Structure 1
Amino acid sequence: MPVKTLDLLEWPRLCQHLSTFAATKLGVAAAQALEIPGQLSESQTLLNQTREVYDLENRLLTPLVFNGIYDIRAALERSEKQGVLSGEELLQLATTLAGTRQLRRLIDRQPELLALNRLVADLRTYPELEQEIHHCIDDRGDVADRASEKLVGIRAKQRQTHAQIQKVLQSLLQRKAGALQEQLVTQRGDRFVLPVKAPQKDAIPGIVHDTSTSGVTLYIEPQSTVNLNNQLRQLKRRAEAESEAIRRRLTEKVAEVQADLEHLVMIVTTLDLAAARARYGYWLGANQPRFVDSEEPLTLRQLRHPLLVWQQNHEQGDPVVPINVVVSPQIRVVAITGPNTGGKTVTLKTLGLAFLMAKVGLFVPAQEPVELPWFDQVLADIGDEQSLQQSLSTFSGHIRRIQSIIESLTDRSLVLLDEVGAGTDPLEGSALAIALLQHLADHAQLTVATTHFGELKALKYQDPRFENASVEFNDQTLSPTYRLLWGIPGRSNALIIAKRLGFRESILDQAQQSIGGGTQEVNEVIAGLEDQRRQQETKAQAAARLLQSTEQLHQKVSDKASELKARERELRQQQERAIQHEIKIARKEIAKVIRQLQQGPMTAQAAQEATQKLEQVTQQRLPSQKPVAKAKVPTFKPQMGDRVRIPSIGQKAEVIGLAPDADEVTVRFGLMKMTVSVTEIESMTGEKVEPKPKPAPAPPAPKPLTVRTSENTLDLRGSRVADAERVLDDAIAQAHGSLWIIHGHGTGKLRAGVQAYLKQHPRVERYEFAEQSEGGTGVTIAHCAV
């Protein structure tokens, strides 16, 4: 992409705005030096990454966090050259490894994010190197005592020697208080000294290391501490040498994996840049673009200039007027006409930025659908190209720039030309502009040009590859509206403006006669077309509002219907639970009656009492069944006194009672009487009562939809079973429905411990492995009682 084109479109400003959404210095630097891909596949990958981060942060409400990540590229370069990293650099490297690991874990928990998971698939974060650095380097970036036994001994002696020096000096402070300027111990260089009054320097023999500005105070190292200070200096040098040896050892380990760490930096930068693109797109209210082939139209509705949106929000700029751009596949040249300051140049820049944004993976500030073809390059000539040093006029500058564009053309180029052919004789400039646009129609995929030449308006009617557009102008206010009108050329406004401003009528009449009446008629036709366009747009807006109201009403009705269905399911489930509860109680009471009957005497009275209790339980607990009309006469109908068989218990019995609805009969065998359903008996010849048709069972209530989120997902990988149980108990206590538990595969010990704990937990109704797409046997889903 030519650098001149990027500067003309103010691309560096957009990159600067994008960089404010980055979280790390790596991302800021990458955004400010944003590279523009040369292949469609690269742009598509970037767009996929942006979309996944956008969904992660705005749909799943799980932001990417870059805490603790630093720009460690300089440290890696120095380690490669066998330099020694400072403690602070090593600490930053360790925190970068930890922060990157957290990013990878977050992405691993979202397997549906295919592009991001591919990005971090081969990421190595070296936890053992991170742990060793933290073991040797403390939080201030200093080498810790625990780094080596040798260093522990040296620093212990340092502290001991320092204490001895302080003890001697404190003694002198007390004994020689009159000779001292102040009651304190200070340092000069790395030597401990006392502030002694100059006239009494002989009171404390020693070495003078410094003198105050006034000369009244001498800073003396007492003779009694000289040897101790010497020892302390030697110990300090030994400690520094040992610290440097430890840092050198750590630096060598960093150098061994330097290539992997550079790859890590690249991945972190890519993630931060993707997050910045997603957050910038969200802030802009932009939508994901789709690259279309040559048979589909270019569609950019309600397109806004991103830099003007920034200016409106951050610099109290004017509201941004969106434009609509819909270009048919056969169109190769669009000629935009209209007055100066009408927004023609802004339109060119808006289009150019929109295509560049899509190429680098940014969302475009336009309404969906955002559909545009792939351009391998954007070539622009916008604004004056005047150069006093080269003795070039504005026209000469344009010609040189256009010549460069022609030499760089490909059949997939987007060309943006501002005021094509301007700056010279109108007749020659118009002829040159027509020839240039026809050449571009043959050799470029799309050209958008602004012009004042009326002759270019007629090209549409001579060549189907040309289209007209104009920026709207308000005759009443004498100002542009910045709206883009398609299919209508701009009309001449010079005489109209002059007349509204009170210009002398005689001069205007002479000018009108000079240009002839044809021009006036053309302007009147164009004005009529513009008026028709405005009326159509007003009606379209009214229809859109009506459609929106209808859709809102439909949505409300749909939501109410869904609410009623959900309520119906809930009531049905409550009723089913109540019935099952009553049946459970009834079974217990029936079992109790049977146990009492088995344990007591086998008498007719006992049997009668048991039968009565069973009938009482049936009436109280079991749900009643409403009779349903029989479809046809059964083949066997029991009567009073009939002998029947009961196959379920292998007994013959006598019918001694019939229920009014003929669904049940009371039978007696021996001393026992019991009431059974007519479907449980048959005649002595084997004929059975045809059962009544059962009503169709109600469809089962659909299982509630369980959606995996960050709140119901628990990552236990790397935990011990005992620690995992404590975390798991807290999570189950707060769970509402299903809980995704990530334990990984590993040795299987953690998985077995988790499932054993779930099996005995009272709130867990059941558990199962997740689908393969959600982790398979590395993830267990626990269904908890609500």
Structure 2
Amino acid sequence: MIQSETLELLGWPRLCQHLATFAATKLGALAAKQLPIPDRRERSRELLAQTQEVYDLESRLGNGLSFEGIEDIGESLERAAIHGMLSGEELLAIATTLSGARQLRRAIESADEVPLLQALVAPLRTYPEIEQEINHCIDERGTVADRASPKLAEIRSAARQVRNRIYETLQRILQRQSHAVQESIVTQRGDRFVIPVKAPQKDAIPGIVHDSSTSGATLYVEPHATVELNNQGRQLRRQEQAEEEKILRHLTERVGEVQEDLERLLAVVTAIDLASARARYSLWLEGNPPRFIDEDGPEAGEAIVLRQLRHPLLVWQHRHEHGDPVVAIDVNIDPQVRVVAITGPNTGGKTVTLKTLGLVALMAKVGLFVPAREPVELPWFDAVLADIGDEQSLEQSLSTFSGHIRRITRIWEAMSDRSLVLLDEVGAGTDPSEGSALAIALLQSLADRVRLCVATTHYGELKVLKYEDERFENASVEFDDRTLQPTYRLLWGIPGRSNALSVARRLGLATEIVDLASARIAPTGSQEIDRAIAGLEDQRRRQETKAEEAGELLAETERLYREVSARAQSLQDRERQLQQSQEEAVRAAIAEAKAEIARTIRRLQRGTPTGQDANAATAEVDEVARRYLPSRQQSARRPKPGFRPQVGDRVRIPQIGQTGEVLAVEEGDREVSVRFGMMKMNVSFAEIESLDGEKVEAPPKTKPPADRTRTAPPAPSPSAPTVRTSRNTLDLRGSRVADAELELERAIAEQIPVGGALWIVHGKGTGKLRQGVHEFLKQHGAIERYELADQKEGGSGVTVAYLK
């Protein structure tokens, strides 16, 4: 009994009504209004997991789970089980429910990471064959369709023919006896077709009178000419009804055969709808999933944490009924605390705090998220028991005090070591000294027997219990001394002041009465305590103000950091796009230049090249270089050489429009290793310049060692011009040294006539392939000498070998 009393006192039925508005079906709404409260922690944890799965699933689906077509068919199933005949509308509702349940099951089965929901729908049987048979026999209006049976179609066809003959006969009579009829219409009385005849002219149309108007001026007559036809129509209607009943009974029997499975289907669909309602209500409340602490018993050692906790009914009132904004409270109760005494002025929010704690404990048990910031950590209470408000009864001669004692007695009998007990104005309603002593004794006893007790009181003696027993804690509702208004905020660790005189003055009590009361209060130790409490409250307010300012500063810093990070990322993206576009332009220019050079070489290869042809080809290649190489285009306006790159210098590579850092300088090869961005490459001195635009002052070329190169080559004969073509060019880029040696051996053997030149393209890269090529040429007997090609021929990326 005390459990149901507590639910009423906390406003739990109202919360269930609010939850029901988020259900998609009538069954789900009914289940929400009669929401059972689990008696096992495992069941609560399962319900919370279901809520979380639906919460996540509906956020992914966008439109959420669909319960379209699902109706409350429970009564129809019960009647089918006892062989009662279902109507067409009831059968059609069963068919749409089967279809809706099948669509719901498919949506859940195709979803990811919803094991509990999938386990719920796994055993469902939706009987598509029964649904199909019902839809075949029953049309969308809920009537038996002609296609349900050939006999029914035949009967209805005959009935239509008889009805048409009756209409034709009556229409002829109406035309012939128009002076005798009240209106030229055919109507029905019972199941007989009649015409309205003026009472004075009834003999003009002989027949059977079935009814008359209220005034008696009109008689509804069935002419003798249609009596037999009406009789035939009546017989056909009876046959039609018998055939329809036969079809409905057959379909009802099909439903009755699977009644248990369909009832189980209804239960599963209702459970999913209820989980969906819990998820949607939790989302609307901006709630977070709770975690149950005290897994190993009340002494597990975890604190109760509920930050920015809001009363769910006040949230509804604020959003739907234009109520005042909800003031959130913070609850942080150490694990050893068993009793919290909340003190402070009346109308300050003490009772609302009790109800909020009771409601969120129940919400967590039934699988609802709690309207508080993460983390939400609270015990699983096996019972929530409350004594809130007066219980006066004139019939039972109960005073306020008696009512409280009776309710506390019922709480005492029902509570356990995992219960939450909420007491409003404990010990009130009697002599203050006796009430205070009774309250202290009650709270000390509850500290030994329950998981948590939260009590509101005005007794100052309860404030000192914290300093005598670590299982007690003080809290108070804040009161603004400047505005003489409660702030409804909860302060922990600080006992409150009643501020009775201040509140009385604010509520309009005569000033002379308040002043007289103030004068009669003798200076006592409690007044000193109140002043100390006021100082603590003021100090706490100042600290909270500073904390808020620090929080705002931190938030602003984080905002600026996000803006700077976003801008830096944007700049990096733009730089990346620019670099990509530049590289694409360079690649396109190189490809076009190669194509023109290839055309020139092919033209040379088509005939016997002469010196004049070689000069013309060289001029064409120079023209290609002038058009496509930025270094050639800008050579006329660049400063004279005078820059010597050093490791760590920043240099510009005009050819690709990049600026990089010098990693290494190779004086002998007249090139440097440069890094820009994530890329690293070797470039010749001629391809770089300082940031001021100065060209590199190249060191003088030293003569190659005697063992590496030989003396100047003999002048090429007219029959062997040293013009570079595709036949005397060998591209080794990307090859390993061993493979490159084989290719070189083959290429040297093919060079005819003797005394020609071989252009070996090995690239710049790391220089290993070039070193390997030079070692091979140095030892080869057919090589007269070798050297790096001119800059326009590839520079340090190409070696020219002259054959003997």
Tell me, in whole angstroms, the C-alpha distance in 2 between the residues paired with 1:590 and 1:90: 85
AA paired with 2:263?
A: E
- Residues 1:651 and 2:746 are matched in the alignment: yes
Listed one character per residue, the Cα deviations across residues 433-468 of structure 1 (whole Å, up to 9, x for unaligned) are 111111111111110001111111110000001001
Displacement, 1:430? 1.2
Q: For 1:459-474, list aligned pairs within 5 A.
A: 459-474=465-480
Q: Report what 1:759 is aligned to.
A: none
Percent identity over the alignment is 59
1:388 equivalenced with 2:389 (yes/no): no
Separation in 2, partners of 1:422, 1:131: 68
Aligned-pair CA distance for 1:543: 1.4
Counterpart CA distance in 2 for 1:479 and 1:112 is 50
In the alignment, the residues of structure 2 paired with residue 592 and residue 136 of structure 1 have an alpha-carbon distance, to the nearest angstrom, of 82
Compute the displacement of 1:42 (Å): 1.9
Please, which runs of 5 or more residues in structure 1 have no aligned partner? 656-666, 695-786
Q: CA deviation at 1:638?
A: 7.5
Number of the residue aligned with 2:88: 87
Q: Which residue of 1 aligns with 2:72?
A: 71
* Residue correspondence of structure 1 range 320-469 to structure 2 within 5 A: 320-469=326-475
Q: In the alignment, what sits opposite 1:780? A: none
Query: What residue identity is the alignment partner of 2:12?
Result: W
Letter in 2 for 1:502: T
1:503 and 2:512 equivalent? yes
- Relative to 1, partners in 2 of residues 1:132 and 1:511: Cα closer, same or farther, differing over 3 Å? same
For 2:597 and 2:45, the matched residues in 1 are separated by 70
SS for the counterpart of 1:110 is coil
Displacement, 1:507?
A: 4.6
Counterpart-to-counterpart distance in 2, 1:243 and 1:637: 112
Give me the whole-angstrom Cα distance separating, in 2, the residues matched to 1:558 and 1:262.
58
SS at match of 1:84: coil
Code of the aligned partner of 1:114: P
- Shift of the 268–590 alpha-carbon distance from structure 1 to 2, 3 Å rule, reads farther
1:126 and 1:584 map into 2 onto residues whose CA distance is: 69
Structure 1 residues 14 and 496: CA distance shift in structure 2, 3 A: closer
- CA, structure 1 residues 188+649, in 2 after alignment: closer, same or farther (shift >3 Å)? farther
- TM-score (normalised: structure 1): 0.77
Paired with 1:126 and 1:16, the residues of 2 have a C-alpha distance of 34
Q: What are the superposed Cα offsets for residues 497-518 of structure 1, whole Å, 9 maximum, x if unpaired?
A: 67886336985476333xx431
Asked if 1:544 is matched to 2:551, the reply is yes
d(CA) in 2 for partners of 1:219, 1:239: 26
Q: 1:142 corresponds to which letter in structure 2? A: T
Q: Would the alpha carbon gap of residues 496 and 630 (structure 1) be closer, same or farther in structure 2, given more than 3 Å must change?
A: closer
Alignment of 1:53-452 (within 5 A): 53-58=54-59, 61-293=62-294, 294-452=300-458
C-alpha deviation, 1:684, in angstroms:
7.5
CA spacing shift, 1:147–1:568, aligned 2, 3 Å? farther
CA distance in 2, matches of 1:488, 1:206: 99
Query: Shift of the alpha carbon at 1:225?
Result: 1.5
How far, CA to CA, are the matches of 2:41 and 2:753 in structure 1? 89
Q: Distance in 2 between matches of 1:214 and 1:651?
A: 127
SS in 2 for 1:105: helix
Q: Can you list the C-alpha shifts for 1:300-355, whole angstroms capped at 9, x where unaligned? A: 12211111122222223222222211111111100011222221111100110111
Of residues 471-480 and 326-335 in structure 1, the stretch that sits farther from structure 2 once superposed is 471-480
Match of 1:553 among 556, 560, 572: 560
Distance 2:593 2:428 in 1: 98
Contact kept, 8 Å, 1:381 with 1:416, in 2: the verdict is: yes
Secondary structure at 1:196 match in 2 = strand
C-alpha contact (below 8 Å) 2:24/2:273 kept by paired residues: yes
Could you say if the C-alpha distance between residues 296 and 59 of structure 1 is closer, same or farther in structure 2, counting changes exceeding 3 Å?
farther
Mapped to 2, the partners of 1:98 and 1:58 lie a distance apart of 24
Residues 229 and 495 (structure 1), Cα distance of their counterparts in 2 relative to 1, 3 Å cut? closer
Give distance in 1, aligned partners of 2:607 and 2:94. Answer: 87
Name the CA distance, whole Å, in 2 between partners of 1:591 and 1:138. 80
Deviation at 1:61, TM superposition (A): 2.3
Q: Equivalents in 1 of 2:562, 2:796: separation in Å?
A: 41
**Structure 1 contact 377–412 (Cα < 8 Å) conserved:** yes
TM-score where L is the length of structure 2: 0.75
Letter in 2 for 1:189: G
1:281·1:364 contact (CA, 8 Å) conserved in 2? Answer: yes
**Residue 539 of structure 1, CA deviation:** 1.1
Q: Would the aligned equivalents of 1:14 and 1:306 in 2 still touch at CA under 8 Å? A: yes
- Seen in structure 2, the aligned counterparts of structure 1 residues 498 and 389 have a Cα distance that, compared at 3 Å, is closer
> What secondary structure, in the 3-state scheme, does the structure 1 residue paired with 2:511 have?
coil
Task: State the alpha-carbon separation in 1 of the partners of residues 242 and 363 from structure 2.
Answer: 53
CA distance in 2, matches of 1:220, 1:505: 91
CA contact (8 A) 1:637 1:689 kept: no
1:285 shift after superposition: 2.5
Give, as a single letter, the amino acid of the residue that structure 2 aligns with 1:235: L
> Using a 3 Å threshold, how does the CA distance of structure 1 residues 126 and 562 change in structure 2: closer, same or farther?
farther
How far did residue 683 of structure 1 move? 2.3
Q: Deviations over 1:518-560 (max 9, x none)?
A: 1221111111111111111111111121122122222223333
Structure 2 vs 1, CA of residues 585 and 108 (structure 1 numbering), >3 Å: closer, same or farther? farther
Q: Residue type of the partner of 2:382?
A: D
Rounded to whole Å, the distance in 2 between the matches of 1:99 and 1:638 is 90
AA matched with 2:344: G
Q: Distance in 2 between matches of 1:669 and 1:503?
A: 131
Structure 2 residue identity aligned to 1:445: R
Per the alignment, residue 521 of structure 2 pairs with 512
2:689 corresponds in structure 1 to none
CA distance in 1, matches of 2:593, 2:113: 49
Over 3 Å counting, the alpha-carbon distance change for 1:164 and 1:619 in structure 2 is farther
Distance in 2 of aligned mates of 1:478 and 1:628 = 74
Partner residue of 1:529?
A: 536
User: What is the CA–CA distance in structure 1 between the aligned matches of 2:618 and 2:143, rounded to whole Å?
Assistant: 89
Kindly provide the amino acid, as one letter, of the partner of residue 465 in structure 1. Answer: R
Q: Which moved more, 1:459-468 or 1:138-147?
A: 138-147
Deviations along 1:154-189, whole A, 9 cap, x unmatched?
111122221111111122222222221111111111
In structure 2, C-alpha distance between the alignment counterparts of 1:611 and 1:24, rounded to whole Å: 87
1:20 maps to a residue whose letter is: T
* Conserved 8 A contact 1:135-1:147: yes
Q: Secondary structure at 2:134's aligned position in 1? A: helix
RMSD across aligned C-alpha pairs, in angstroms? Answer: 4.0
Instruction: Supply the AA of the counterpart residue of 2:339.
Output: V
Aligned mates of 1:589, 1:241 — CA distance in 2: 96
For residues 726-765 of structure 1, the aligned pairs below 5 Å read none
Match of 2:694 in 1: none
Distance apart, 1:82 and its partner CA: 1.6
Question: Which of 488, 494, 497 is 1:491 aligned to?
Answer: 497
Unaligned runs of 5+ in 2: 295-299, 631-654, 670-704, 715-727, 731-739, 763-768, 789-793, 798-804
- Partner in structure 1 of residue 36 of structure 2: 35
From the superposition, tell whether residues 375 and 672 of structure 1 become closer, same or farther in structure 2 (CA, over 3 Å): farther
When structure 1 is superposed on structure 2, of 491-500 and 189-198 the one drifting more is 491-500
Q: How does 1:584-733 map to 2 (within 5 A)?
A: 647-648=742-743, 651-653=746-748, 675-678=759-762, 679=769, 682-683=776-777, 685=779
Of 528-537 and 473-482, deviating more is: 473-482
Quick one: distance in 1 between partners of 2:441 and 2:138?
72
Q: Is the 8 A contact 2:309 2:373 kept in 1?
A: yes
**Alpha-carbon distance between aligned partners in 1 of 2:748 and 2:217, rounded to the nearest angstrom:** 131
Residues 120, 590 of structure 1: alpha-carbon distance in 2 compared, 3 angstrom cutoff: farther
